[in-house]
Structure 1
């Protein structure tokens, strides 16, 4: 039996870091709903002579959309990571776990355009370890 402590630890750290992206998205959405923060952001952007009102509204709309996007990406990667950790505990299904770890790495790494590099790398390493580590063959001694 192979101990899967490394995969579990990297998976849990990856889950926590992926969930942080969801928290960042929630904070972004909460700040976009606060009129005082919105007014201050609009005043900051209007003070720049190069910014047009269309640019200001585009940037604010993009920030609001980005909040929801981060929430969804963080949740999907966290769920994939959680399923992977639960299936690799006690070496139950290492192939399924490896697939889920790699899917989580792709979602958080590519979905955040590289900002999720660290959790993506952790998930990727854990997925590769899940595929590569095999139990040692047991030697049986036959007696005549």
Structure 2
């Protein structure tokens, strides 16, 4: 039985996770370039008097921490997706692949606070299809 649909969904999910990792990398880059970020945040603070200097520092620190978390979780999800697709190739271990897809999607969605939910949807659909689809039985008569 061919598992083309599951592999395609896995590839799409991995690409979306790669974009999420790039977003996390951009967040870390912003934290490391404080002058650019502080300039834009100070302009916002001038318009909104409720934001204080301490709040800006806390936002910059949270941006860096969240960026690292998002980048690492997304890279791990891409790696696990590739492992699941390799196991799926040739219909070798579809049950293991399905479990890897579903577990990865759920864990990354929880760890990233929902930021990985879009890519996780592709992984969940691929995982369910891996678990549900059975090879056709040949009827001997």
Is contact 1:108-1:119 (8 Å) kept? no
Alignment RMSD (CA, Å):
1.5
- Runs of 4 or more, structure 1, over 2 Å off, are 107-118
Q: How many residues align?
A: 140
Q: How many angstroms does 1:39 deviate by?
A: 3.0
Deviation track 1:35-70 (CA, whole Å, cap 9, x = no partner) reads 431331342243131112221111111011111011
Is contact 2:74-2:116 (8 Å) kept? no
Q: Aligned runs of 1:1-144 on 2, under 5 Å?
A: 2-47=1-46, 48-141=48-141
The structure whose Rg is larger is 1
Whole-Å separation in 2 of the counterparts to 1:125 and 1:39: 41
Structure 1 length normalisation: TM-score? 0.89
Q: How many angstroms does 1:28 deviate by?
A: 1.4
Deviation track 1:46-101 (CA, whole Å, cap 9, x = no partner) reads 31311122211111110111110111110121111111111101101111101110
Question: What residue ranges of structure 2 are gaps of 5+ in the alignment?
Answer: none
Q: How many angstroms does 1:33 deviate by?
A: 1.5
Structure 2 length normalisation: TM-score? 0.90
Is contact 1:15-1:81 (8 Å) kept? yes
Is contact 1:18-1:108 (8 Å) kept? no
Whole-Å separation in 2 of the counterparts to 1:62 and 1:45: 17
Question: What residue ranges of structure 1 are gaps of 5+ in the alignment?
Answer: none
- The worse-fitting range, judged by mean Cα deviation, of 75-84 and 26-35 is 26-35
Whole-Å separation in 2 of the counterparts to 1:115 and 1:26: 14
